[in-house]
Structure 1
Amino acid sequence: MRRLPPRLLVTFAGLLMVLPTAAAASARGDDRPDRPGQPLKVLTYNIHHGAGTDGVLDLERIAKVIENSGADLVGLQEVDKHWSQRSNWVDQPAWLAARLKMHYAYAANLDLPPLKPGEPRRQYGTAVLSKSPIKDFENTLLPLYPTGEQRGLSVAAIKIRGVYLRFANTHLTSNNNAERLEQAKKVVELLDDSKLPTFVVGDLNARPNAPEIATLTKVWRDTWADVGTGPGYSSPTENPAARIDYLLHTRQKIEPLSSAVITTNGSDHLPVVATYNLR
C-alpha cells in the first residue's frame, strides 16, 4: 500500500480551513486509490480523553480499538489537546493520527490560554480521523445555555472512493434537554442545505425516542435502526443501558450494510462502527 510522501502531506495540511475554534492537520497516512464498490467503515467514539473504566489513561488502547475496527472515517469526542495533567498535556489528536497513519482535523470547543507564557493553548473538543485526505474543515459552536458547556459541530469535506462527502461530528450537551434540542436544530440548519452525501456522528446524549433525535432523523437515517441488531447500547461501558452514540447518514449514495457496538474498557462509552456502500 503506497504511503504519501511528506511534502504532499504538508500540501494537504495547507488546504484545511483553520478557525479560532478549530485546528486541522494532516499526519502521514494512507491515501488509497478510489475503488468504487468497496465497503466504507465509519466509527464514532467518545474516548473520555483516553481514560478507561479501570482508571488508566491509555491512548494506545484507544488506537488499537480504532485500528482493529478497520474504520476509514472516525469521529471522536472528548479529545484533549494540551488540556491538563489528566491527559499528561498530550496533543491527543496528533498522537492518534500519527499512531494510526491517518489524516486528522481537530475542533476545540473549549480553548483556554496556557498556564505559562509560551506553552500551547489548552483545548478540549472533537476530532476527525480519515484514511483519505481531508479537503476542508470547519467547526461551528452550537447554542449554549448559561450553565452549559460549549459544544460544536465540526464538518470535514472528504473525497473517498470517488465520492465527495461531508463528515460531521458532534457532542451534544448532557444535562439540559431544551439546550440539546436547540443544538440538534442548529445541526439541521447548518447541514440541511447541501446535496452532498453526509454522515452525522457523535455522542448525542439522548435516547432514540427523544425529540432532539427525532429532529435529526427527520433529515438523516439512523444507521443502527436500519441495520443494527439488538438495542445498540453504548453507555455506560460496564453495564450498557442506553443508546446515545449515533451514526446517521443521508439516503442518497450511502447504503448501510451492518453496524455493531464494540466491547472495550478504554472509555466510559463504547464505540459504534458501521459498514456502508458508497453508490
Structure 2
Amino acid sequence: MIELDETIDSQAVLPGDADDRALRRSEARRPWPLKIVTYNIHGAVGRDRQLAPARIAAVLEEIDADVVALQEVPLGGSDAPNVLAYLAEATGFHSVAGVTMSSPQRLYGNAVLSRHPIVASRAIDLSFGTREPRGALDADIDCDGHLLRVVATHLGLSAAERRRQVEQLLESFETPAMPVVLVGDLNEWFLWGRALRRLVAHFKRVPAPLTFPSRLPVFALDRVWVSPAKRLVRVSVHKTRAARIASDHLPLVAQIDA
C-alpha cells in the first residue's frame, strides 16, 4: 500500500493557483476608472485672442486625463502651427489626427491624445452638402489589454446637418465586443433638439453641464455618451481660471469604470 505524503511544498502549484495568479495580474493591470476629457480648444486661441498652445497644455496638465478628445485643432500647413504635435510632446501622450479641412496652407480638425497606445483609427466623413466639412475621429485604444473605442466629433451648425450626422455616427457603433465612448462638441443649442433625442434613445440620458462660453457658460454644447451606459460614472466641467482663458469652451471631464 502506498502512503500519501500529506505535507505540502510551499512552492508547489495547487489546482487553481495559476488561475488565481493570472487573475491578480489582470487586476493589477486594470486601467479603471479611466478619465476622459473632451475639449474644443478654439484653435488654441484664448479669450484674449492670443494663439497660445502652452495654455491648452497647462489645462490638460491640470485635468490629468487618460484620454483627451480635441476639436478645432490646427494640424499644420504652411500658414498654421501643428498644435497637436505640440500637445503630444507636452503631454508625452500618443496622438492621432482626424483632418476635416485640408489645404496646403492649413490642416484642421479633430484629434485624440491618449496615455495608452492607439492601435487603430478611422476617419468618418460627416460633411453635409455645401456646409463646412465635418468629421469624426474613431480610435481604438489599448488600455492595458482592455480595448476602448473613442469617437471624437464636432457636429455642424444647422439642425438638419446634426440630425444626419448623428444618424451616420450611430450606424458606425455596431461593435458589441468593445465599449464605445462618443465625445465632442455637438453644437446642439436646444435641450430637446432631435439630434439629442436620438442620442438619448440610443444611449441614455446623461448629465450635461454647461461648457460654453467659457467665461460664463450658458450652453451644454460639449457632451459624452458611453455604451454600455452603466460604465459612465461621473461627468463634470473643469472650471479653473486657466481653463476660462485658454479657449471659448470649458473642458468636459468624464470618468468611466469597468
1:111 matched to 2:102? The reply is: yes
Letter in 1 for 2:221: I
1:136 to 96, 120, 124: 120
Aligned to 2:51: 57
Deviation of 1:247 (Å): 1.0
Matched AA of 2:103: L
After TM superposition, the structure 1 stretch with the greater mean CA deviation from structure 2, 129-138 or 156-165, is 156-165
Greater displacement, 261-270 / 43-52: 261-270
- Structure 2 residue corresponding to 1:187, chosen from 169, 172, 177: 169
Q: Distance in 1 between matches of 2:254 and 2:98?
A: 23
**Cross-structure match for 1:165:** 148
**Shift in Å, 1:222:** 4.8
CA RMSD of aligned residues (A): 1.9
Q: Distance in 1 between matches of 2:77 and 2:248?
A: 19
| 2:186 aligned partner, one-letter code | L
Trace 1:192-231 onto structure 2 (pairs within 5 A): 192-206=174-188, 207-224=190-207
Equivalent position SS for 1:66: helix
- Name the residue aligned to 1:233: 210
Give deviations 1:218-248, integer Å, cap 9, x for gaps: 22245426xxxxxx11111122111010011
Of 81, 88, 93, which residue of structure 1 is paired with 2:84? 93
Relative to the length of structure 1, the TM-score reads 0.76
Which one of the candidate residues 29, 33, 38 is aligned to 1:39? 33
Unmatched segments (≥5 aa) in structure 1: 1-32, 115-121, 226-231
CA shift for structure 1 position 59: 0.8
Q: Secondary structure at the match of 1:191?
A: coil
Partner of 1:145: 129
Show CA shifts across 1:134-187 (max 9, x none): 0001101114122x101011100111143111000000012x111111111111
Number of aligned residues: 227
Contact 1:34 1:161 in 2 (8 A): no
Matches of 2:40 and 2:104, distance apart in 1? 24
Q: Give the Cα–Cα distance (whole angstroms) in 2 for the partners of residues 182 and 83 of structure 1.
A: 30
Query: Contact 1:34/1:162 (CA < 8 Å) preserved in 2?
Result: no
| Counterpart position of 1:117 | none
> Which amino acid is the alignment partner of residue 164 of structure 2?
E
- Are the structure 2 counterparts of residues 57 and 143 from structure 1 closer, same or farther at C-alpha, using a change threshold of 3 Å? closer
- Alpha-carbon distance between aligned partners in 2 of 1:218 and 1:192, rounded to the nearest angstrom: 15
Q: Following the alignment from structure 1 to structure 2, what is the Cα–Cα distance between the partners of residues 81 and 262?
A: 24
2:202 alignment partner, SS class: coil
Deviation at 1:193, TM superposition (A): 4.9
4+ aligned runs moved over 4 Å, structure 1? none
Partner of 1:276: 256
